[in-house]
Structure 1
Amino acid sequence: SLVGQLTTGAVSRISVHTEGAAADLNAKPIVSAVLAGYLQTQTATVNMVNAPVLARERGLEVREVRTEREADYHTLLRVSVKTEDGERSVAGTLFGDSAPRLVELLGIKIEADLAGPMLYVVNEDAPGFIGRLGTALGEAGVNIGTFHLGRRSAGGEAVLLLSVDEAVTPDLLTKVRALPGVKTAMGLNF
């Protein structure tokens, strides 16, 4: 559902890449789960059985790509979507006790558990930004459960994922978007 929550605009293609040990698995259930996760942001009647049919009905091109080589992870699942704005991707893996973990977002390495309500922020990497964000959240009475950060390069684009105790409100998003350097801010829910 992460891709569906982050994507704005019409999606024309969804690609599901399995790498490493995941490339040896039957990809049909994986692709169905990805499609169901994406489509659940658009319709409440989607499930793993009807997701491929609903995707076809919506004109979505679905691609499956397998890469048997292992890169940084023993197993990796990458989901890419193509919209009129370009292509975006997220990647995840399984750690130790089979706990799923996000390891890449928009081409930026980041490690995060996806659970409950979260705040997603894309900003310019600059000194003091995290302090200003923390102050804004504290003044709004928002408690941070976990904080995950990744960046392209020093001074480049940065991505933050914060788990918070309560759903992100429109008022909070307005305050976060007003901070200098913020490119995108949105509430997510898992």
Structure 2
Amino acid sequence: MCLNVLSTPAVTITSCSSIGVAEACLLLLADPEWDQIAHYLNDSHCLVIKEKDESVGIVAVMAVRPGVMELMNVAVRPDRQGRGYGRQLVTAAQAYAQQQGAVSVEVGTGDSSLGALALYQRCGFTIKTIDKDYFLRHYSAPIYEENRQCRSRITLSWVARGYQHGLGR
């Protein structure tokens, strides 16, 4: 069952409890190994952005610690990128996390994912840690983006308004 989260004349973001083939293909755009996706998918909540009835982007968000959720996967079809869909998905995931009681959201991305790094920073995330050679240790085949090998995992964090300096609401 999908619940309507955001709706404009041509675009909707829905909260879905089941992943179809189109959504699985989207997840593989951001994470090329299905075993990695399967590891977190059952514990994640997915939001899908659709044009009419066609899934064109997805975000999977999961509780990782009390008060903290993580964006496990964010993907938009290449032919639909540049339309603000990634930002809409991240913003919807931040709102969902707050509704679930989270005060912060984390996301990990590769050091070669320059577009993703820029997107997350535009959405208010700041760099928290760098895990050197993470992708070399955890993936069976090298990952390349724009002719750059992805080596290290960069973790970024977003903190809900009112909690930035350890203050309550």
TM-score by length of 2: 0.31
Which has the bigger relative contact order, CA under 8 A and spacing at least 6? 1
Structure whose residues are more often helix by fraction: 2
The structure with the largest alpha-carbon Rg is 1
Please, what TM-score do these two structures have when normalized by structure 1?
A: 0.29
